[in-house]
Structure 1
Amino acid sequence: MTISRRTVLATAAAMGLLTACGSNTGRGQGGSGGSGPDLAQWYHQYGEAGTEQAVERYAAAYKKARVTVQWRPGNYDEQTAAALLTDSGPDVFEVNGPTLDQIQGKQVLDLTALFEGVKDDFNPAVLAPKTHDGRIWAIPQVIDMQMLYYRKSLLADAGVRPPPTLDELVDAAKALTTKKTKGLFLGNDGGAGVLGGTPLYAAGLELVTPGGEVGFDDPAAARALGKIHRLYAGKSLLLGAPADWSDPSAFVQGLTAMQWCGLWALPVVEKALGDDFGVLPFPADGTGAKPAVPVGAYGAAVSARSRHQEAAKDFLKWLWIERTDYQEDFALSYGFHIPARLSLARRAAKLREGAAADAVRYTTDYGYAQPLLWTPASQTAYQDALSTIIKDGADPDNELRTVVRKVSAELARVRRKS
């Protein structure tokens, strides 16, 4: 599977300079044919067939401006970061963010006013990281999420129930491991790359508090990550699979009884296994803690260097707030995703039943997104420690104490800039 929208759940890359952005903005190369100003709109290159044609069709339907869509292959985040510093970048653009630097550097426009009367209809988990100082800087487009797939028949044969807690997940993975099948697949690195802060949220913690402080300076963090190491050390995890966690092939081929994967895989799993599977959020760990579901969403933003700022805002409001038919089409006709609007997610026919309906419910009830204040420096410090804990059995308390110091210093730096 080549589903590029899953990149919204990956680790954010450090921003760099692009040598090839130049003046290749797409302006003057054809567009919607509408009246009014010329607007250049950028998207990253999707792997889902029909997506490019769809966004061109949306742009062509807009009559108050001539909107030219440009499909951007390559490292899109770096391309847009560089283009926002020039006068030859896009007017409106898709963004995996925007980043705190882009907001603080006044590279994107405040879009708060566009949400009047509809803000509460956007999933709060994906709206939060697009909000800073009470202002909204991008409109979430669609939601991608991750969840735990399990094979009903294999669990039944082993006398194992779908695990509601992290302790039961560890025990279930061990009980489900046989000579032919491993109990759980968290990726070929044992989960260090994909899990991120999910075990912390499932332990009732968070990466960054609402007040901008470290959210995991707590013994519960070490206990949770220690349990992930138990999975690795107990040889319950599938390692060295032909494809990594984002591809469901290991699960549908019976190499593992449970797999952490994304919503995008659901149609493939359903086609292969029928109703012999179920889905769960990441299990809760600790009294009073809730399960956790990592979510992410590309958003639509307006460049502060646009020569037609009000027209650009009007276009985004039309496309991502008013045209709910296009929003549902974008989410579900070219892949499998959840609309960012709660009302659309509830009424979409493809999301009303079975595992899809469960996924929507989990996202609404347990979804969390990586906080805006969680910078690449903090991410690197935490990921390095997580990998060492899971794979090498390093002491979680010691590793996390070091991470807390580094992240505290990084958050202090960010607050000074604000």
Structure 2
Amino acid sequence: MLTLLYPDLIPIIQEMPAGILSINVEDKACPMFIVKAPKEYILAAKINAGFKIYLAPVQIDNQRTFGFVTAFFDDEDEPLVIRTPLFADDFARILLDSLRNGQINVHFFDELAREQLVYRAEVTIPDVTQKKINKLSLLKPSRPNARVIIDEMSEWFSLRTSCDDNEAINVFFSELTFGETLFIQDMRPERHAYHGSRGHSHTFLEREEAGRYQEEDVINCLLLIFEADKIYHSPKRVYDGEEICDILVVTDSKLLIIQTKDSPNTERISRQSLSRKRSNVLRALKKAINQVKGAVGYCQRIKDKLEFVINGNQYSIDTSGLEVMALVVVKELFNNQYIEYSELLLDLFEDKAVPCIALDYPELYLFCVHLRNEDSFFAAFNTLLAHAVTHGSYPRLRFGLGEKIL
């Protein structure tokens, strides 16, 4: 377990937004291959006892270069993917060397840098792909080129052929060395100082019940932006004890209503058809929006004051001058359904005059890890909303490749 054996490496993984990374340790013959990804990606790898890495060709200014598309097959045609631009640098060199080693230790971390699974794995590189790797000519590192490579890889992967599948690098798990039935408990005070905290939290990779686990993960993301005393978990109405919303964030200028929707993280759910997953997301989004409408109504029922109860403690918040905003967090959003998502969210905006955006959980994590302060958070929020109002559809985010988020 890397977390216990090499704790000095954990800050590096914490600073990784998401992706793959290879680390060579002198006393280890087997390179450490880090995968930092959402729980759904990790479960798909576990179910399939491995994953594939595609060497994707890209053309930039008449020069051919490459990137890696790491695919986790929850769906045969449209798997979950991590896209990694390759440049002429130590990162790519070490990554390629580790794969050529033929055997690696794969360490899976979720977005919050919790080590979930470790496998000993065999790496098989087809001869045709090995020849391409041996002749690789990569560009110097560049953020503008990274954007182009990522876009081109996405296009290439969507049009890949059976020949491309056959030429992919295969990573096969031969032995589970850590993580079976793992229970992770966090008792750090600084992570549990928000209102409504139990003083501790725990998580599993496979979750039969989503609920509180997802809400606590969302709060952990929010703590990268907001002070703990501004976050309220599961506030209840004073007159009947019913939940107002999953999470409430109160700053000096904003009252942010957050509604989360997740589903169990199990093999059965992972193996559902893509059409079923899409319909589930749309249904969850509709339900969350209806709940947001109810929360807005409650928050605005008394002028300049919001009263609620958490764990038997009553709170009274002065809301004069606070702008009410709403954020819906779901498990996954699909690119080809953004028109449908946008219509629902813009209807809410027009109906309640409350700015609202929707993010899937991986996007929320990127939102928080890249922005890191309240002003940037709400500026990005308003950028998404303004784009939707102007163009009729919300955009997807692009963090980590320069100043622009769209």
TM-score normalised per structure 1? 0.30
